[in-house]
Amino acid sequence: MSSDEDTPLGTLASTSGSKHVATNGNSSLNGFADGSSMSEDEMPLSQVSVQAPVRPLRRKRDAGDASDSSDDDIPLASSSPAKPTVSVTTQVATTPKTISDQSKQTNGKAKGKVKAPPKKRIKREPKSEAPESSASEDERPPPKKRSRTKVKTENNVDGAILGGEETKPKRRSAAKKEAKKEDSGTPRPNHSKKGEENDEAEEEEEKYRWWEAQQENDGEEKWQTLEHSGVIFPPPYEPLPSHVKMVYKGKEVDLPPESEEVAGFYGAMLETDHAKDKTFNKNFFEDWLKVLKEYPPRNGIKITDFDLCDFRPMYEYFEAEKAKKKALSAAEKKELKKQKDAMEEKYTYCVLDGRKEKVGNFRVEPPGLFRGRGDHPKKGALKFRVRPEDITLNIGEGVPIPVPNMSGNWKAVVHDKTVTWLANWVENVNGNYKYVFLAAGSSLKGQSDMSKFEKARELKKYVDRIRLDYTADLKNKVMADRQRATAMYFIDRLALRAGNEKGEDEADTVGCCSLRCEHVTLEAPNFIIFDFLGKDSIRYYNRVPVDAQVFKNIRLFKENKGDNDNLFDRVNTTHLNKHLQSYMKGLTAKVFRTYNASITFQQQLDEGTPKDATTQEKLNAYNHANRMVAILCNHQRSVPKTHEQSMGKMRDRLRALKYDHMKLRHVLFNLDSKYQKMKQYADDESDLDDEWIVEHEESLKKKEIEKVEKKFAKDNEKSVEEGNKPQDESVLREKIAAIEVEFKRIAKERGTGRASLKRERPAERIEESIQKLDEKIKTFKLQMDDREAGKEVALGTSKINYLDPRITAAWCKIHNVPIEKIFSKTLLTKFPWAMEAESDWKF
């Protein structure tokens, strides 16, 4: 089965879905996407009993139709339309070394080995999970030494100070110091909030450090004991109010709940791009007609024509319900979240070998309409409601079997210690298996990640020999060997995916081994143009120069073939991977992709990071290196719909900073005319026109008034709670009047080149403020440039799946960059083992 390593974490976030509004209707191996362009977890930390439902009619499916899991059912919101991408060759050619030179780099070795921690700290031997590309776990890396160098985090005042201003520890009051002296001889429980935080910190420190433990298992069993609560099923369908009906030929249709539910899935999506797609509409209507056949309208209306259906009443009802939910007060939303969290708590953790570990996607995705990615032939198809009878649980022997939160019995309960999934089922649209795994930060996932990157690092020992061999085989007289060598050339040089055969009912996506003649065009003297749909139906377009022999081979392979014939008709992924494993145990084409991504990233960082630069300049260099890898791996995306809007807000923010800069300059001019002759204060802010200044000052006044109004209301609310008399409205009116007076004064200063402050400050302090604003403006411009440069590239996929996180951890240490500016909370949790890499660690 394919791994979920290629799936962006953002799309793996589980969501419970609304009872009425259709959910994404798609999932990956580790959960189903929420359709958002970027989740909060992906952002760097610094920035930021009821009636049983009636099951819809089941689609017939051949029992043997279950295929390997794929990521084709991730929502359109996460994919890009077909569009040319930047040529990797052109981009990488600007650096002194090319991808083909990477194997010649001097790569640092992991520093020092350590003794295993005392066995009394480890209750049970940990079970390591090998990556799916590995044949076994015999080549598992030895345990790594825990680094004594700490990566600075914004909340870590004890770590090494790696950049920026030092975080000062909070001072204790004299009373607290005195109390500490008195209690020093007699320890006692600390019931204060700080005491609770300290206890939590100690508990955090005692987390299982699997990467330090001895690895002594036999490579087969992943665990010994496993106990969990199963999965959560979505709530049953609740019929719409009697006044909400879909309309057919101008008449309201009285649908039974079974067919009304399916109609509602479409109604909720009425204003989306999906509802404008012919394939989506066709598949939905065909499946809905099957449900209608079994559960026809109660008022006898016969539905036969999709174009005569009007789902708008349903859509308007769903929108009104969403508006009501959005209008709830903060307290009401908090209470609802509290209830939801309490209900889900027992599902969020499992007990693995006596340790409490977090579960990843414990929610079963609700029924809905399949969305897919790109031009998927099944988009719009009905996804059935999953029931206990569909789910196989994996759990330890002799532990209580969880009871489903809806009526029914589990399909099966197994005790398979050689796998790491907790539950699985087969979804009906593509016949793919869906799994429940442990969370990204769990020991089993961590071991899998670390093993994957160690496998890619191990390839360094063999890559020169592999390249020599496939270069020689480019002229091999055996056609199968020559085709294999040419495919290896593309996989190595261009980081192409190997590719697998697709069925007729799957999206027409290809990889290297499944390329057809129509996907490759020759252009003399030595250029090849690739144009095909890759994974997730994302277009791969690249015009690259190749070796003369490769050009000759492609011309030979295309002879006497039609456009729809396979370019490599004597090579497939299985044979290619079998050949690669003759060089190195567990080596597959995917390992090459991980290796080339990480080695390219390391090279780009080493060559492109400025030494004497600001943190933002270093971050821009880091993102540039990440973009080079994303382009290499074809991690493209369409420009977000909100991009121009967010850039507009950033431009306004930049103007606001320049406005502050201008006002301070004018204050200096008012204090002493000599400042006007100084070069650093002479230039006006050219993009601040009079009209914008008036609008900005009106906006500032409005914000100031809103601020005092909120504070006035809050103070009065507090006074009433304390039994005191609230302030009179005249107090508020006085404050607003003072703001009006202040902004009238500011308005009079427009165009005069002179300004004054509400509170006088010495010229030296104003000069310092201007200098700080200069730095802030420079940093903000760099952030804008970085945002604009990355609008068509998805940086998250490579950061999560292809770039060894130790590269980032070491880079942050050596360049004094807080790692929270790069890794989100989710990634810090996912890669705890990487945070201990030494500053001189190299991939």
The residues near 479 (Cβ < 8 Å, ≥ 6 apart) are: 570
Name the pLDDT band for 208 (thresholds 50, 70, 90).
low
Long-range CB contacts (within 8 A, 24+) of 64-67: 65/431, 66/426, 66/431, 66/432, 66/433, 67/430, 67/431, 67/432, 67/503
More confident residue, 279 or 753: 279
Provide the 3-class DSSP secondary structure of residue 117. Answer: coil
* Segments in 520-614 forming alpha helices (H): 548-558, 573-580, 589-608
pLDDT at position 279, please? 93
CA separation, residue 700 to residues 15, 454, 693, 749 (Å)? 39, 55, 10, 16
Higher pLDDT, 216 or 471: 471
What does the DSSP 8-state code read for residue 353? T
Q: Looking at 317, 470, 622, 802, which residue is catalytic?
A: 802
CB 536 within 8 A of CB 552: no
Report pLDDT for 501. 60
- Most confident option among 512-526, 532-546, 778-792: 512-526
Q: Of 147-161, 262-276, 332-346, 523-537, where does mean pLDDT reach its minimum?
A: 147-161
CA dihedral 112, 118, 119, 123 (to 10 degrees): -100
For residue 565, give the DSSP letter.
Answer: S
**Position 49 pLDDT exceeds 50:** no
Question: How high is the pLDDT of residue 213?
Answer: 54
Same fold, 247-323 and 453-612: no
Residue 753 has pLDDT above 80, yes or no: yes
Read off the pLDDT of each residue in 351-355 and give the average, rounded to a whole number.
Answer: 91
- Say if CB 213 and CB 122 are below 8 A apart: yes
Burial of 370 (0-12, 13-18, 19+ CB in 10 A): buried
Residue 35: band (very low, low, confident or very high) from pLDDT cuts 50, 70, 90: very low
* Lookup result for tokens 């991977």: 577
The predicted structure's pLDDT at residue 607 = 92
Domain ranges of the chain: 247-323, 453-612, 643-791
b or e along 319-354 (b: 16 or more beta carbons within 10 Å of the residue's beta carbon)? eebeeeeeeeeeeeeeeeeeeeeeeeeebebbebbe
pTM of the entire predicted model: 0.60
H or E stretch covering 282: helix 278-294
Q: pLDDT tens digits, residue range 413-446?
A: 999 999 999 999 999 998 889 999 998 888 888 8
Kindly tell me if the per-residue pLDDT of 278 is higher than 50: yes
% of the chain at pLDDT higher than 70: 73
pLDDT in tens, 282-318: 999 999 999 999 999 999 999 999 999 999 999 999 9
Angle ∠(526,528,529) on CA atoms, nearest 5? 145
Encoded amino acid at 12, one letter: L
Which residue type sits at 80?
Answer: S
pLDDT higher than 50, residue 809: yes
Of 307, 313, 304, the residue nearest 267 (C-alpha): 313
Average pLDDT, the chain: 77
Residue type, 479: M
CB atoms within 10 A of CB 84: 12
Q: Which of 87-91, 367-371, 621-625, 766-770 has the lowest mean pLDDT?
A: 87-91
Residue range 453-612, CATH number:
3.90.15.10
* Residue 72 reports pLDDT greater than 90: no
Tokens standing for residue 414: 């197994």
Average pLDDT over residues 701-713: 92
The reply to whether 802 belongs to the active site is yes
Neighbours of 411 (CB within 10 A): 16
Categorize the per-residue pLDDT at 210 as very low, low, confident or very high, splitting at 50, 70 and 90: low
Whether the pLDDT of residue 794 is over 90: the answer is no
SS3 247: strand
Residue 765, pLDDT above cutoff 80: yes
Task: Please state which CATH number belongs to domain 247-323.
Answer: 1.10.10.41
Q: For residue 141, what pLDDT is reported?
A: 39
Asked if pLDDT for residue 20 goes beyond 50, the answer is no
Beta bridge partners of 516: 566
